[in-house]
A and B are shown apart, each in its own frame.
Chain A
């Protein structure tokens, strides 16, 4: 049941990304280009998502178990450290370079977009590089 609802969630999430226009990198770059002709659409996507999410996460916070069973896996980290800040700063650079973040890129792979496939493969390699470095440091 957990896998089935994960599939349905991925499907709905992906459809939401397509409706919102966020699978088009030119709309991401259009939002990030505040000095040029600015497209504020992305802020409306986040606004709509957070409005619904805010209510849902308030309900979720009061729960001790998931509806389908099993524990709640909500993040517990609290500290604002160098990893969080430097990692996020780096992510923003990559995001601005191509106009892809992970969700829309994977959905675009489902559209058969060759450029998205190249981006996602490189992203997986990047995640692998991170794992490799972390293993060396341990």
Chain B
């Protein structure tokens, strides 16, 4: 059943187009993928190289809310997870995206755009466990 009260198709589509435009700009100008987990992970791995552009990219992400707030009110998030769950989730995301070579941005935005079989498999895999995890949390444990 669709949650019509929270479904925001137009802003979702508009935001998606802006995200796609950023990915387009980066691959054409810098010749790189906008994979956030790889960009951040590369900061911890000197062998990956390119500390300067990686820091600049993360700085851009960090100031995005301030830039957005100049034009419009920032949306207030609802975060149900408590601190222990956030720590567990963060650890798993850090390890999982390192082994899986990417997250939603690298695999589902860039990889799917490239019709990469690896990214299609990765996206199907994390969607599947994402659905299963929320099902367990909300419907079996709750």
Please determine whether chains A and B interact with each other in the same assembly.
yes
State the A residues within 8 Å of B (CB): 2-27, 29-30, 32-42, 44-57, 59-61, 63, 65-68, 70-75, 77-80, 83-103, 105-111, 113, 115-116, 118-131
Q: How far is the CA of A107 from the CA of B15 in the complex (A)?
A: 14
Q: How far is the CA of A87 from the CA of B70 in the complex (A)?
A: 38
> What A residues does B95 contact at CB under 8 A?
87, 90, 126-127, 129-130
Q: How far is the CA of A122 from the CA of B50 in the complex (A)?
A: 23
Q: How far is the CA of A78 from the CA of B111 in the complex (A)?
A: 12
> What B residues does A14 contact at CB under 8 A?
60-65, 67-68
Q: Report the count of interface residues on B (CB-CB < 8 A).
A: 113
Q: How far is the CA of A3 from the CA of B32 in the complex (A)?
A: 12
6 A-B residue pairings within 8 Å (CB atoms): A2-B50, A6-B54, A7-B60, A19-B14, A84-B121, A115-B86
Given A21-B15, A56-B23, check contact A97 B85 (CB 8 Å). yes
Kindly identify which residue among B64, B94, B126 contacts A10, using a CB–CB cutoff of 8 Å.
Answer: B64
Whether the pair A53, B110 counts as a contact (CB closer than 8 A) is yes
Whether the pair B13, A45 counts as a contact (CB closer than 8 A) is yes
